[in-house]
Amino acid sequence: MKRLLLLPTFLLITILGYSQQESDTLRKPVEKLDEVLVQAIRVEADSPVTHSDLSKEDLEKRNLGQDIPFLLNYLPSVVTTSDAGAGVGYTYIRVRGSDASRVNVTLNGIPFNDSESQGSFWVNLPDFASSVENLQLQRGVGTSTNGSGAFGASLNLLSDAVSEEAYGEISNSIGSFGTRKHNVKLSTGLLQDHIEISGRLSTIVSDGYIDRAFSDLKSYFLQASYVDENTLIKAITFGGHEVTYQSWFGIDKETLETDRTFNPAGMYTDVDGNTQFYDNEVDNYKQDHYQLHWNQRFNNNWSTNLGLNYTYGRGYFEQYKEDEDFEDYNFAPIEIGEETINSTDLIRRRWLDNDYYVVNANATYKNANLEVTSGTFYSLYKGDHFGEVIWARFASDSEIRDRYYFSDATKNEFTVFSKATYKFNNKWQFFVDLQGRFLDYKTGGITSDLVGIDVDKSFEFFNPKAGITYQLNASNQFYGYYGRANREPTRNDFEEGISTAEKLNDFELGWRYSKSNFKLNSNLYFMDYKDQLVLSGALNDVGAPLRTTSGNSYRLGLEIDAEWQLSNKWRLMPNLALSTNKNKDFVASIDGSLVNLGNTNISYSPEIVASNMLVYSPKENLQIGLLSKFVGEQYMGNIDSEASILDSFFINDLNVVYELNNIPVFKSIVFNALVNNFFDVNYVSNGYFFTYNDDFSNPGVITTVEGAGYYPQSGINFLAGATLKF
């Protein structure tokens, strides 16, 4: 479905203002003004919320084409994976064992998670990391944010800040598997001390480690800004177009051992009985974002923020299907003499066409000891799901692109919140955060499985949070936190007959230690779930993970991360996450009967996740980093089956950054190199697990059959690039 988009980007304006801590004069760093955009959903360094921050400089060191989840790979409790095996294309992140659909993501305070699946698909915004000023990952429930509740973490990103000085950048990188990334960035700097225009164009292509798992990715970012003493005005539009060959099928254990890169996607048998692979078994999707924000400082105490957003997404995935029944596509049987034809080979497309509107507003009062932010959020999502046949060997009386199923969906969400931080004295600080979230989801029609769907469900959630911070002395800080979160089911959950909301109580205790050359963050957490929707291990027919209700469950863990400046040349940054993740009294169907298995491990939740970054800087402009990652053994299901075990793995990357200064024409040239998995380890970071009851091979006897699939990751591979700055 094509649409004419009548929303000129030059009409979009974002207005942002100063907070009290920000300068009363224009010539202070303009970048600080942009922080207002995410002020309502972020926390400060001394907040009782467990979090990690990454700056633009941190991201640039390894930003050579891999997606954002891979750039976050070395944060505590983070596990990443890639369908294509090398970090380009469809990539995924898990935090504390929770998958991406349970990690709340916002871009400049606007939700990025898909309203129905609740997933975050970074492939729709390729190279967005090149337009990120900084980001914050809050683990656990965190502070109130916009969009779906955080059941593992929340990730908020701030896009490029206003630049006072004009600049230009040309960046190019190449790597293994035909990977190439090219982008151009520019800024006018502040014209007449008030106006800045900046932008980026990017393209990324890769053949992928897995057979035919190519990616062809394009994206853009454009913003116009106006600043004066109390106001910052920004116009932001960004988007992307991805075409990726499907590689979400995985492979079985035997194929893993004999042909790690095999991809069954698109496989069919031609009329001569030969095995072929359809060359256009692709996912093709476009997404455009337009944002409008208005923040105004009225005096040293009061400021307000208004934000608007429109996101337009549309696309499909295409499949070659053999011997499909006519009745599934509304085809009439063909009578030729005495022969009746009622099946055919065909090519189909399954479409998603959606619109997402957001209004976001808040006000902040701040004095020396108290900061209060209150706000409201409203969003409207409209989505059409439909399928069409674009070719058939026997087309009957059909027309090209006849729809064989259709379902529309609407989701309304309204949120109000108020949060306050009060500094009682130099040692004690209190935090309270109250949020009410109200949503309504409706969908009807026929699903892609050709089953009727009729959902009209409303949810009302109250999410209180509170915390306390105690500053013992200049070096030691302690904090305690409690957070409540509720979360509605996804569209897939409704299709599986699940309509109950999940509930989470999150308890955290933390200790922060800081000296001039050493910093340590540690925290204990206990996440107590009711009706948690855990991944079953199985996938549906489009590769989306299926979930099951676990009843009562919990996650108990210890996280430690540190930064140690060993000398003026050596720096060590380790982190360790130890956890136990259990379903209580988990019930499963075994050999045709429901069996209480007692306490079982929650799927995709390794007990050990550890990382380390050892950085050597022999010169001011040269940095060499050894990056190490260990992920412990994990189960891909919830029944503790040996067949569902995903082996542990330990991989190492080498990152080199060198900046060449004082050269003609350019301000500098930055060279980056990344050797991933340089010990060439054969490892698998993701997979799937399924069971079914087989009552055919042994009549009268029902036997539970288990199976598993795997997503192998690349062995040693490299990326290298250069950025010309002028």
Q: 36 in helix, strand or coil?
A: helix
- Secondary structure of residue 683 in the 3-state scheme: coil
Q: Between 33 and 671, where is the model more confident?
A: 671
- In this prediction, residues 509-522 reach a mean pLDDT of 96
What average pLDDT does the segment 151-156 reach?
A: 94
Contact between 160 and 186 under an 8 Å Cβ cutoff? The reply is: no
Strands (E), 401-532: 403-423, 428-446, 452-471, 476-487, 502-514, 518-530
Burial 244-267 (b: 16+ CB within 10 A, else e): bbbbbbbbeeebbeeebbbbebbe
Residues 221, 202: Cα–Cα separation, whole Å: 9
Sequence-distant (≥ 6) Cβ neighbours of residue 328 within 8 angstroms: 404, 450
Report the C-alpha gap between 718 and 65 in whole angstroms: 11
Grade residue 399 by pLDDT with cuts at 50, 70 and 90: confident
Distance (Å, rounded) from C-alpha 44 to C-alpha 58? Answer: 19
Locate 672 and state its tokens: 């980056």
112-126, 174-188, 273-287, 587-601: segment of lowest average pLDDT: 587-601
Encode burial over 600-611: b for 16+ CB neighbours within 10 A, e otherwise: bbbbbbbbebbb
Mean pLDDT of 147-164: 92
First to last CA, the chain: 42
pLDDT bucket at 662, cuts 50 / 70 / 90: confident
% of residues, the chain, pLDDT over 70: 94
pLDDT > 80? residue 287: yes
The confidence score (pLDDT) of residue 675 equals 98
Residue matched to tokens 């194929």: 255
Overall average pLDDT of the 380-409 stretch: 94
Q: Tell me, what's the pLDDT at 9?
A: 30
What confidence tens digit (pLDDT) does each residue in 349-379 have?
999 999 999 999 999 999 999 999 999 999 9
Q: How far is CA 415 from CA 39, 419, 441, in A?
A: 17, 13, 15
Gyration radius (Cα) of the chain, Å: 26
**Residue 28: pLDDT over 70:** no
Residue 503 vs residues 154, 206, 462, 604, 677: alpha-carbon distances, Å: 16, 41, 11, 20, 39
Instruction: Place 32 in a pLDDT band, splitting at 50, 70 and 90.
Output: low
For residue range 637-659, what is the model confidence (pLDDT) as tens digits?
999 999 999 999 999 999 999 99
Q: How far apart are CA 673 and CA 720, in angstroms?
A: 4
Digit-coded pLDDT (tens) for 84-116: 999 999 999 999 999 999 999 999 999 999 999
* pLDDT for residue 41: 86
As a whole number of angstroms, the distance between CA 141 and CA 481 comes to 10
Fold of the domain built from segment(s) 9-725: Maltoporin; Chain A (2.40.170)
Among 231-240, 291-300, 451-460, which stretch is predicted with the lowest mean pLDDT? Answer: 291-300
- Residue 713 is predicted with a pLDDT of 98
For residue 705, count other CB atoms closer than 10 A to its CB.
11
Tens digit of pLDDT for each residue in 675-710?
999 999 999 999 999 988 776 556 667 778 889 999
Please give the structure tokens belonging to residue 53: 């921050």
Among 23-32, 114-123, 604-613, name the one with the lowest average pLDDT.
23-32
- The residue with greater pLDDT, 28 or 172, is 172
What local confidence, expressed as pLDDT, does residue 698 receive? 64
Looking at residue 702, its pLDDT comes to: 74
Q: What percent of the chain has pLDDT over 90?
A: 82
> Given this model, what pLDDT does residue 17 score?
33
Report d(CA 5, CA 24) in Å as an integer: 40
| Residue keyed to tokens 């891979």 | 70
Question: What pLDDT is stored for residue 1 in this prediction?
Answer: 39
What is the rounded average pLDDT for all residues in the chain? 92
3-state secondary structure of 56: helix
Residue 235: which of 294, 190, 168 has the closest Cα? 294
Task: Note the pLDDT of residue 591.
Answer: 82
- Distances from the Cα of 201 to the Cα of 10, 59, 217, 221, angstroms: 17, 18, 11, 7
Query: How many angstroms separate the CA atoms of 576 and 37, rounded?
Result: 32
What is the arithmetic mean of pLDDT over 131-140?
96
44 has pLDDT over 70: yes
Kindly report, residue by residue over 175-222, the tens digit of the pLDDT. 999 999 999 999 999 999 999 999 999 999 999 999 999 999 999 999
Q: Which amino acid is at 684?
A: V
Q: Residue 430 burial by CB count (10 A; 0-12/13-18/19+): exposed, middle or buried?
A: middle
pLDDT at 719: 98
Q: Which two tokens stand for residue 584?
A: 């209580």
Asked if pLDDT for residue 274 goes beyond 80, the answer is yes
- Reading the block at residue 497, the tokens are 């007959």
Q: What is the mean pLDDT of residues 113-120?
A: 94
**Whether 575 contacts 522, CB under 8 Å:** no
At residue 24, φ and ψ (nearest 5 deg) are: -85, -5
